[in-house]
Amino acid sequence: MKAIVVYYSFEGNTKLIAQTISNTIDADIEELKPKKEIESKGFMKYLWGGSQVMMKKSPELFPLNKNAEDYDIIFIGTPIWAWTYAPPIRTFLENSNISNKKIALFSCHEGQNGKTFSHFKDKLKNNIFLGEIDFFAPLKSNKEISVTQAKDWAKEMLTKAK
């Protein structure tokens, strides 16, 4: 079974988990990169990011190197913005025709996961959901624990997919 990890990362937390998953199960990896990334820091990034989510913005992305539709298992990772997935993930989901795939979802946050996974499931109907996991600020809190959890979870998802 071919697997890919598709993710967006703003501050590196989701990237850490995505790379860990990819390396653990030898999956391809694809980072979503907006053509115009926000440069806000501190409180302004929350204000800007939250407003983008509320307005249901779908930023233009640089072209992808791989097509997630060509894979059997798709891991999708996002930071949490305003209790859901980040706008670049929205763009990816809107521009992809993902169906009849095995999906594993992960997120990184500094507060709560919100309704992120239920929002994913609403958007990705006609797929099989293997599982989901969220990580609390992996780069700021205990990085080693987050990496170990990501490795164990990735192996579990691969086993479930068989």
Indicate if the pLDDT at residue 124 is higher than 90: yes
Q: Which of 106, 96, 85 is nearest to 22 (CA)?
A: 106
Task: Work out how many domains the chain is built from and give that number.
Answer: 1
| Residue 13 burial class via C-beta count within 10 angstroms: exposed 0-12, middle 13-18, buried 19 and up | buried
Indicate if the pLDDT at residue 39 is higher than 90: no
Q: How confident is the model at residue 55 (pLDDT cuts 50, 70, 90)?
A: low
Q: How confident is the model at residue 48 (pLDDT cuts 50, 70, 90)?
A: low
The per-residue DSSP string of 102-159 comes to: EEEEEEEESS--TTHHHHHHHHT-SSEEEEEEEEE-TTTS-HHHHHHHHHHHHHHHHH
- Domain with 94 in it: 3-161
CATH number at residue 157: 3.40.50.360
What are the φ/ψ torsions at residue 49 (nearest 5 degrees)? -60, -45
Indicate if the pLDDT at residue 23 is higher than 80: yes
Name beta bridge partners: 4. 28, 74
**Higher-pLDDT residue of 162, 57:** 162
Query: Do 86 and 51 contact (CB within 8 A), yes or no?
Result: no
**Among 64-68, 69-73, 77-81, 123-127, which is the least confidently predicted range?**
77-81
- Please, what sign has the CA dihedral across residues 2, 148, 123, 88? negative
| Residue 74 burial class via C-beta count within 10 angstroms: exposed 0-12, middle 13-18, buried 19 and up | buried
Six-digit token string for 108? 């990184």
Q: Is the pTM of this model over 0.85?
A: yes
**Residue 128 CB: number of other CB atoms within 10 A?**
12
CA neighbours closer than 13 Å in the CB half-sphere of residue 134: 16
Q: How confident is the model at residue 56 (pLDDT cuts 50, 70, 90)?
A: low
Please tell me the predicted confidence (pLDDT) of residue 41. 62
